[in-house]
Amino acid sequence: MRAHKLLLLGFLATSGCGWLWGDTPDVAKVAAVAKKIEADPANVDEVLKDAGMTRKEFEADLYKIAEDADASEAYAKALK
């Protein structure tokens, strides 16, 4: 499996823990960034910078997506 899918699966396994994350991020944007990272893993920071994100923000967005069933489904579809 791809690294970001494994990461998301880990987040999904912890969903329902009661975290209050706020609004769900732009799922299409996060998925597009994940695809770019997968295509060029040696340049993660550059990919994130081009997307206007930090590693911490990207990770937080993944957690937010994992907390929302609809967003998780949309993310999984966007990765295909």
Report pLDDT digits (tens) over 71-80: 999 999 999 8
pLDDT at 8: 57
pLDDT at 16: 47
Report pLDDT digits (tens) over 43-67: 999 999 999 999 999 999 999 999 9
pLDDT at 19: 43
- What DSSP string describes 1-20? --HHHHHHHHHHHTTTS---
Q: Is 11 left (phi over 0), alpha (psi -120 to 50) or beta?
A: alpha
Q: Which residue bears the tokens 């295509």?
A: 39
Token pair of 38, please? 């997968």
pLDDT at 47: 97
CA-based radius of gyration for the chain: 12
Token pair of 55, please? 């590693």
Q: Which residue bears the tokens 């994992």?
A: 66
